[in-house]
Amino acid sequence: MAARGAKGSSIPFRGLLVFTFILFVAPQTFIPALYAFRISLVTAGFALAVYVLERLSRGGSLSVTPPSVRLLFGFTALAAASIPFSRWPGGALDVFTDELLKSLLIFVLVANTVDTLRRMKLLIGSMTLWSVLMSWSALRDFSAGKFDPRGLRIHGYDSPLAGNPNDLALILNLILALVAGLYLGTRKSFKKSVLLAVMGLLAAAVIATFSRGGFLTLITIALLILIRRAREGVGGLVFLLALLLVAALLLPQGYGARVSTIFEPDADATGSATARWDTMGFAFRMMLEHPLLGLGLGMHGLGFLDALGTWSWTGVHNVYLQIGADLGVPALVVYVLAVWQLFKGLRQPRKWLRGVPAARELLAAGVGIEIALAAFLVGGFFHPVAYHFYFFYVAGLAVAFQQIASRVLSDGPAGEATGRVLGHAFRT
């Protein structure tokens, strides 16, 4: 459904699409000559420059500012403020410029340039296409027995988002959730079949990673989809339950034993399950010992070195403890509040959109984004990715959904009054 209002220039959005392709697929690994051109930096920089110039020429603000955006700006400011007090200011500055700041800028681009349902579907569709490529690569390696030196797991995919099997599982789970939103929003049987096949492919690739966190995140997504289908009718629920049963029967050998180490860490022959529990304890103690500013952005690994006397573990595999140990309790509280506001901003407009018959696809897209956000919250307990792109892409889509919904409701039967009420809710 097209929303009324000024649509932004297509150039920054197209730049975002190209950057997303580079981030997911990493074409420079296939064409090494591209490394010299720093194509991801050039593409993102060009898109941001055009976006800023366009905003300034119109005399508008540089970004929409619902509470979630303001809180994430505040979180970034707290991270920057921690740099001078860090255990290693130079290293903290590198983490800020190389990871967090880049993620925040892409978040701003997504939140502001994905300003129509068509653009939202294009971005999600493009990420889905690149994820299919990564999934095919993962399943090919798994079936060919191309594993890491220990012969236990596949390597992942050679890109910034999927360089190891755990990161690969995380990004595939997030995209799977977004695809679920597209699936719920379409009525055409052929499209549903294609999207269902894509979801099955992504889920199979997640399983092929043998990621324990990936498994728990995948189960979370499946449960949320089942709950959604149960509300809409028994037929769809029975069909999905049958698919899950078939999938359970096709799990690869050794997968059950791998997953069981979540609850029995001592049964893990590699020792990684026990080590992760230990590092969580270290990180929690660091947060308690440095509650205000932490050890500095990205610097809790130095605390690990002090505690363990070795670089065997360079950080905790938990987003929340990573933030708490790095930046302190206040920054963690701000981060959690931002996530809460994102959920709130996704749910509020859906109550209004149910009364707009033509908003089916937008409603379903919002459901998919909410499932993806919930998936990240679960996956965040097992990944050290607080400052990377994963969360910020989903957060940007959540904010974009709010803005599109506000404009759609302004076109609805209640007219601009409804849009103003909802817009005020987003700003407070």
Q: How far apart are CA 13 and CA 124, in angstroms?
A: 13
Residue 50 lies in a domain: no
Residue 358 lies in a domain: yes
Q: How far apart are CA 106 and CA 229, in angstroms?
A: 33
Residue 38 lies in a domain: no
pLDDT at 417 over 60: no
Residue 48 lies in a domain: no
Mean pLDDT for the chain? 88
Residue 392 lies in a domain: yes
Q: How far apart are CA 166 and CA 213, in angstroms?
A: 7
The number of folded domains in the chain is 1
Residue 7 lies in a domain: no
Q: In angstroms, how far is CA 252 from the centroid of its own chain?
A: 27
Helix (H, G, I), strand (E, B) or coil at 374: helix
- Measure the CA angle with vertex 403, ends 337 and 347; round to 5°: 50
Handedness of CA 226, 227, 228, 233 (dihedral sign): positive
Q: How far apart are CA 203 and CA 80, in angstroms?
A: 37
pLDDT at 134 over 90: yes
Range of the domain at 302: 65-427
At 309, is the pLDDT very low, low, confident or very high (cuts 50, 70, 90)? low
Task: Indicate the helix (H) or strand (E) that contains 427.
Answer: helix 415-427
Closest CA to 23 of 105, 95, 144, 96: 105
pLDDT at 156 over 70: yes
User: Any idea which of 23-27, 186-190, 268-272, 357-361 has the lowest mean pLDDT?
Assistant: 268-272
pTM (two decimals): 0.91
User: Any idea which of 103-112, 275-284, 393-402 has the lowest mean pLDDT?
Assistant: 275-284
pLDDT at 426 over 60: no
Q: How far apart are CA 97 and CA 29, in angstroms?
A: 23
pLDDT at 264: 76
The rounded percent of the chain whose pLDDT value lies above 90 is 64
Q: What is the mean pLDDT of residues 28-52?
A: 92
Residue 361 lies in a domain: yes
Neighbour count for residue 367 (Cβ, 10 Å): 23
pLDDT at 81: 94
